Structure 1
Amino acid sequence: MFIPLALIAFWPSPVDQPVSGQLSVVLQFLHRHGIPWWFNYQFVEAAANVLLFIPVGFVGSLAFPAKRWWQIGAFGLLISGCIELGQLLFLHERFASPSDIVTNTSGAVIGALLAALAAQTQKRPAAFRQRASKKQ
Structure 2
Amino acid sequence: MRDERRRPLVVHVVYITLLGLYATLIAVIVLSPNRVDGDGMGVYRILYGLYGWGLPRWITYQTVEVSANVIVMVPFGMLMALLLPRRLWWVAVIVCSAVSLSAEVVQALLPGRMPSASDWIANTAGGLAGAGIAVLFRAQKGAKVST
> What is the aligned partner in structure 2 of residue 23 from structure 1?
43
> What is the aligned partner in structure 2 of residue 74 from structure 1?
94
TM-score (norm: length of structure 2): 0.80
Worse-matched range after superposition: 20-29 or 68-77: 68-77
Aligned-partner SS, 1:44: helix
Q: Which amino acid aligns with 1:75?
A: V
* Aligned-residue CA RMSD (Å): 1.4
> What is the aligned partner in structure 2 of residue 121 from structure 1?
140
CA–CA distance in structure 2, aligned partners of residues 39 and 69 of structure 1? 32
Is residue 56–residue 108 contact of structure 1 (8 Å, CA) maintained in 2? Answer: yes
Larger Rg: 1
Tell me the matched-pair count: 126
CA–CA distance in structure 2, aligned partners of residues 41 and 28 of structure 1? 10
TM-score (norm: length of structure 1): 0.86
Aligned positions of 1:12-91 closer than 5 A: 12-17=33-38, 20-89=40-109, 91=110
1:108 aligns with 2:108: no
Query: Offset of 1:67 from its aligned partner?
Result: 4.8
CA–CA distance in structure 1, aligned partners of residues 87 and 75 of structure 2? 16
Q: Percent same amino acid at aligned positions?
A: 31
Give the unaligned 5+ runs of structure 1: 129-136
